A and B are shown apart, each in its own frame.
Chain A
Amino acid sequence: MTILPITRSTATSGRLGPQPGEVIDRHRTLDFTWNGRVLQGHPGDTLASALTAAGERVLSRSYKYHRPRGLSTASYLDPGALFQVGDEPNVRGAHRLLREGDDVRSQNTWPSLAFDLKAVNGLAGRFLAPGFYYKTFIKPERLWPSYEKVLRTFVHAGEISPVPGTEVYDKRYAHPDVVVAGGGPAGMAAAVAAARAGASVLLVEEEHQLGGHLRWGGSAELAALRELTAAVAAEPGIEVMTDSVAGARFDDNWIPIVQRSLPGVAERLVKARAKTLVVAAGLIERPYVFAGNDLPGVLLSTGVRRLVNLHAVRPGQRAVVLTANPDGDAAAADLARVGVDVAAVIDARRGEGIVAAHGRGGVQSVELTGGRRVEADLLVTAVGWTAPTSLLNQSGDDPVYDPRTARFRPDPARLPDNVLAAGGIVGEGSTDELVAHGDATGREAARRAARVARRLAAVPTAVTTPRPPVPQPDAAPVVVPELVTPDHPELFTNGTGGFVDQCEDVGLKELRTAIREGYDSVELLKRYTTATMGPTQGKLETVNMVAVLAQATGRTMAETGTTTWRPMYAPVTLGALAGRPSEPVRYSPMQPWHERHGAVPLVAGQWIRPEHYGDPAAEVTAVRTRVGIIDVTPIGKLDLRGPDIPKLLELLYVNKWQRLAVGRVRYGVMCAEDGVVLDDGVTGRLGEDHYLCSTTSSGAATVWEWVENWLQTAHPEWQVHVTPVTTAYASINVAGPHSRELVGRLVEGLDLASEAFGYMNVRSATVAGVADCVLWRIGFTGELSYEIHVPAAYGLHVWERLMAAGEDLGVTPFGVEAQRILRLEKGHAIVGQDTDGLTQGFSAGLGDLIKLDKPDFAGKPELAWQHERGGHPRLVGLRPVDPTIVPPEASQILDRDGSIAGRITSSRMSPTLGRAICLGQLEPDLAEIGTRVTVRHPDGRDVVAEVTDPVHVDPEGARQRV
């Protein structure tokens, strides 16, 4: 299977003899497949270097025009080497290391591998003109689906498997003194210097090895690399992360680092808080824009030097080298050394240039300025550098264009104190100069990190006596030597054509068209053409786009400016951002029993609770006729101590608390300051200055913060101490006519007779041998019931004893579903179910409870105004006239004229009444008992229901008071 009839370099292998800096292991061979064909590579090869060694030149199709593309940068950024590997799309083929058995496929090969260029260009002409998205998605809307069909074939991406992946992603926090972003010579030297000064250092390098450009250099560079590598290894204070990227810099040096190549983990997100950040990102070589610049065989000088020196791969047979700097010269020398025929070296510093590259499926000849054509299958360009200043931009330094050195340059003087820049990103120099610059910057970073540490430690806290800042000798600032960048010719495009953005397939012509259409600011041009918005995120393309815009508008590069480099610096998977799920899950101590007895689990906030044990209706009947027990451990519980508790309760709740006697329990409702119902629960007075306050299960955390807020900010003079004890107790509600009998069999030292322990009372007692249990006689279910709060470690024991002791009474465990039916039969509203974020107190059926004659309580003014205004929705009972129809919750209730007048908030089939019952919110003019209303189901069906009292069963409350 071939992609195109192209001129293969040779039938023989493209692998060179051993190179001094090579990173491949020639003793081992790895088999992999390329579009189904078996090929070989070595450990240390990237997918792209292995393919090039095997003679493959066309590695992908461009995404809009489906032009053949090959390697250009031979690095992570290479736009021509995005592959599908197994079911993983968009793998960076010039970065990903080859593994045995990799199934590597080219992407964007629609409509087929042996494709019809003409057909695709025809489509492209119609659909892919500049600004296509803007122009197309205006009108007519009815054509959008057809556009989408065509567009979907043009997405530059591989295929995502519909099967969920099994990869594990991970997160980690780190608090290093210094993060060094970039592990080239300056970064390595900075890390070593900072570590020697006592700092803990994270050294982060995007590639698989430290060393940066030293790795593909000559013997002097390799010697320096060995020395630096040894120095880094000798410092225990340095943690090295290779194949990792510092993705962004946020406030106070919060730095997300994506770590790859970890055993057993696909990616790990390291959240680092660094005292100082050293940005040593080096330089990125910039492509040149000319006709034919995207042909396979057009490579950057760094791409050639990587292939030759790191992977021992011959990038071509006969080369033309366009050079404007020493790195281009070195590439020409490397090629000559390994036996590539260097047909011409075009020196841009002497005003020489090229016009175009020609060929079909790859470079076949190069046209030079003056018209001469040179036969060649390789064209190498070395026309300049881009400083990857993302992290510096995010620290507040916007780079400014410098025509002398032909690049946007950062200004370290604009950086905040805790961010420094080292090495090539600042300026050029010999290896020794770069190392010296890194070394000084590293020492300065350590010095400033120590200063930050002192400043943080000196933040006075209320628990430490304010200490006068200890005068510490601040070491003198390190003098960082200048890096002098030599002049560089400005080479962006020769104007003959070609592609400015090879990821997005945006050509020089298209940019010029868009500029003529008026998109003449750099940010607009970017969004309109999508240039610089592809997988390389503009790192190769932005400056060329700025140059094209500057030329077309007659402005300077500096006037034109550049786009903003936003986080993240490199693409991050959603998996890495999500990490491992870290949400805690809570179980009650009775969970093992529930699992053994077939409980169907229900996720309720953080808790997993039994929804039912098989038959919720039977559970309801058991409670109404015999006795049932339910695990209510998730109920929020606050232990309150202190003499000012009544004042606190008066302020928190809408009802009165001043005269709650010891041993008594009272139901209370809280509203927020906007009068909206916040939470409810019962509070019992256990002793003179000791109360136990319960909240809803979901409101436990909110109420605790709410209580603390009032105590800490409004009334710090009140003596109340709050302790959350939700999980300190396991809670069991024993409900039903036989509950007194059952509890009586296990309780010690407590008379359960109604006269001694009546409704709405609280007692402490020993239950099943467990001392210090708290018993509440309350009735959410409407039956005689005891809520027993057991020290958590004994929860399972007491539960099992209740089940055993009640066997002859027919004791039945019941779950949340049965409890919901029981409370609905009793008309007890659930906060958040029968109320929502707009339901103020008088709309929640709390009219009798709200005491507007209290001087103050949270939300009082709003409730007073609600009462005054009247006309608010009411909480009502509803019964469908057809007793077999249960309207789904959230069904709308309609006014006589068909407008919405309310909604069903709770609905169930009542096993006790043998009919459907509901609670609902309803406009007041329809809320009269006996009114018939229309209930519209979500599917549009209407049923008639009659308004009733909210209490459907035992409205007198006789059953719970016995």
Chain B
Amino acid sequence: MMLLPCPWCGPRSATEFRFCGEAGEAGARPDPATATPEQWRRYLYLHANPRGWSTESWYHGSGCRRYFTAERHTLTNEVRSTTAAGGAP
């Protein structure tokens, strides 16, 4: 089990977190006023699932209960950056 660096709590075991899907472009919510069914279902179900660097949303449920975005390499589990959701305080 990997360590994941929470931007609030520091490195913690991955079981403390919940994976919330891809963030950034891949996970962006389309405008509900104009979204087509194709766009909306891509947002709900279709993910890039890259072999390599992936921008992901995580929730530190057993810690600070904050959401954050992490850039993680899916082969090595290296995390090269994390960003607290909504930016740093």
Which residues of B are found within 8 Å of A856, using beta-carbon distances? Answer: 32-33
Q: Is A708 an interface residue (CB 8 A)?
A: yes
Task: Verify B77–A716 contact, CB threshold 8 A.
Answer: no
Given contacts A251-B77, A712-B66, A712-B86, contact A705 B59 (CB under 8 A): yes
- Give the complex CA separation of A865 and B57 in angstroms: 28
Task: Verify B67–A708 contact, CB threshold 8 A.
Answer: yes
Task: Verify A462–B33 contact, CB threshold 8 A.
Answer: no
Q: Is B26 an interface residue (CB 8 A)?
A: no
Q: Is A713 an interface residue (CB 8 A)?
A: yes
Task: Verify A708–B65 contact, CB threshold 8 A.
Answer: yes
Interface centre among B9, B35, B43, B86 (most CB of A within 10 A): B86
Partner of A713, one of B9, B57, B61, B88: B57
- Give the complex CA separation of A595 and B70 in angstroms: 49
Partner of A709, one of B5, B67, B77: B67
Q: Is A658 an interface residue (CB 8 A)?
A: no
The minimal Cβ–Cβ distance linking A716 to chain B, given in whole angstroms, is 3
- Give the complex CA separation of A252 and B11 in angstroms: 11
Which residues of A are found within 8 Å of B67, using beta-carbon distances? Answer: 708-709, 712-713
Task: Verify A251–B2 contact, CB threshold 8 A.
Answer: yes
Residues of chain A in range 456-489 having any CB-CB distance to chain B below 8 Å: 456-457, 459-463
Residue interface mask B28-39, A partner, CB < 8 A = 1? 010011010100
Interface centre among A713, A716, A862 (most CB of B within 10 A): A713
Given contacts A456-B11, A856-B33, A861-B32, contact A461 B86 (CB under 8 A): no
- For B35, give the chain A residue with the smallest CB separation: A861
Q: Is A327 an interface residue (CB 8 A)?
A: no
- Give the complex CA separation of A865 and B18 in angstroms: 30
Q: Is B20 an interface residue (CB 8 A)?
A: yes
Q: Is B87 an interface residue (CB 8 A)?
A: yes
Which residues of A are found within 8 Å of B6, using beta-carbon distances? Answer: 461
Which residues of A are found within 8 Å of B29, using beta-carbon distances? Answer: 673, 714
Chain B contact patch, size range: 20 to 34
Task: Verify A673–B44 contact, CB threshold 8 A.
Answer: yes
- Give the complex CA separation of A558 and B60 in angstroms: 46
Residues of chain A in range 777-795 having any CB-CB distance to chain B below 8 Å: none
Task: Verify A462–B88 contact, CB threshold 8 A.
Answer: yes
Given contacts A456-B10, A716-B87, contact A254 B1 (CB under 8 A): yes
The total of chain A residues at the interface (CB under 8 A) is 28
Q: Is A860 an interface residue (CB 8 A)?
A: yes
Residues of chain B in range 1-60 having any CB-CB distance to chain A below 8 Å: 1-3, 5-11, 13, 18, 20, 29, 32-33, 35, 37, 40, 43-44, 57, 59
Which residues of B are found within 8 Å of A674, using beta-carbon distances? Answer: 44
Given contacts A705-B61, A856-B33, A865-B37, contact A713 B86 (CB under 8 A): yes
The minimal Cβ–Cβ distance linking A506 to chain B, given in whole angstroms, is 35
Q: Is A855 an interface residue (CB 8 A)?
A: yes
- For A711, give the chain B residue with the smallest CB separation: B86
Task: Verify B85–A712 contact, CB threshold 8 A.
Answer: yes
The minimal Cβ–Cβ distance linking B59 to chain A, given in whole angstroms, is 7
Which residues of B are found within 8 Å of A252, using beta-carbon distances? Answer: 1-3, 77
Task: Verify B10–A461 contact, CB threshold 8 A.
Answer: yes
- Give the complex CA separation of A844 and B20 in angstroms: 27
Which residues of A are found within 8 Å of B10, using beta-carbon distances? Answer: 456-457, 459, 461
The minimal Cβ–Cβ distance linking A645 to chain B, given in whole angstroms, is 18
- For A463, give the chain B residue with the smallest CB separation: B8
Interface centre among A461, A714, A860 (most CB of B within 10 A): A461
The minimal Cβ–Cβ distance linking A581 to chain B, given in whole angstroms, is 17
- For B79, give the chain A residue with the smallest CB separation: A459
Q: Is A15 an interface residue (CB 8 A)?
A: no
Which residues of B are found within 8 Å of A673, using beta-carbon distances? Answer: 29, 43-44
- For A416, give the chain B residue with the smallest CB separation: B76
Task: Verify B89–A462 contact, CB threshold 8 A.
Answer: yes
Residue interface mask A860-892, B partner, CB < 8 A = 1? 111001000000000000000000000000000
- For B86, give the chain A residue with the smallest CB separation: A716
Which residues of A are found within 8 Å of B1, using beta-carbon distances? Answer: 250-252, 254
- For A715, give the chain B residue with the smallest CB separation: B86
- Give the complex CA separation of A484 and B67 in angstroms: 53
The minimal Cβ–Cβ distance linking B89 to chain A, given in whole angstroms, is 6
Residue interface mask A391-422, B partner, CB < 8 A = 1? 00000000000000000000000000000000
Which residues of B are found within 8 Å of A594, using beta-carbon distances? Answer: none
- Give the complex CA separation of A16 and B67 in angstroms: 68
Given contacts A250-B1, A713-B67, A716-B85, contact A861 B7 (CB under 8 A): no
Which residues of A are found within 8 Å of B84, using beta-carbon distances? Answer: 462
Residue interface mask A691-725, B partner, CB < 8 A = 1? 00000000000000100110011101100000000
The minimal Cβ–Cβ distance linking A862 to chain B, given in whole angstroms, is 7
Task: Verify A459–B32 contact, CB threshold 8 A.
Answer: no
Partner of A459, one of B5, B33, B77: B5
- For A855, give the chain B residue with the smallest CB separation: B33
- Give the complex CA separation of A91 and B83 in angstroms: 52
Which residues of B are found within 8 Å of A855, using beta-carbon distances? Answer: 33
- For A724, give the chain B residue with the smallest CB separation: B65
Which residues of A are found within 8 Å of B20, using beta-carbon distances? Answer: 709
The minimal Cβ–Cβ distance linking B83 to chain A, given in whole angstroms, is 9
Task: Verify A709–B11 contact, CB threshold 8 A.
Answer: no
Given contacts A705-B59, A713-B67, contact A459 B11 (CB under 8 A): yes
Which residues of A are found within 8 Å of B35, using beta-carbon distances? Answer: 861
Which residues of B are found within 8 Å of A250, using beta-carbon distances? Answer: 1
Chain B residues with CB under 8 Å of chain A are 1-3, 5-11, 13, 18, 20, 29, 32-33, 35, 37, 40, 43-44, 57, 59, 61, 65-67, 77, 84-89
Of the A-B pairs whose beta carbons lie under 8 Å apart in the complex, a sample of 28, sorted by A's number, is A251-B1, A251-B3, A252-B3, A252-B77, A254-B2, A273-B3, A273-B13, A456-B11, A460-B7, A461-B7, A461-B10, A462-B7, A462-B84, A462-B88, A462-B89, A673-B29, A673-B44, A705-B59, A705-B65, A709-B20, A709-B67, A712-B67, A712-B85, A713-B67, A713-B86, A714-B29, A716-B87, A855-B33
6 nearest A-B residue pairs (beta carbon):
A716-B86, A251-B2, A712-B85, A252-B3, A254-B1, A459-B5
Instruction: List 17 additional A-B contacts (Cβ < 8 Å) besides A461-B9, A708-B59, A712-B66.
Output: A250-B1, A252-B1, A252-B77, A254-B1, A462-B8, A463-B8, A673-B43, A708-B65, A709-B59, A709-B67, A712-B67, A713-B67, A713-B86, A716-B85, A716-B87, A717-B86, A861-B32
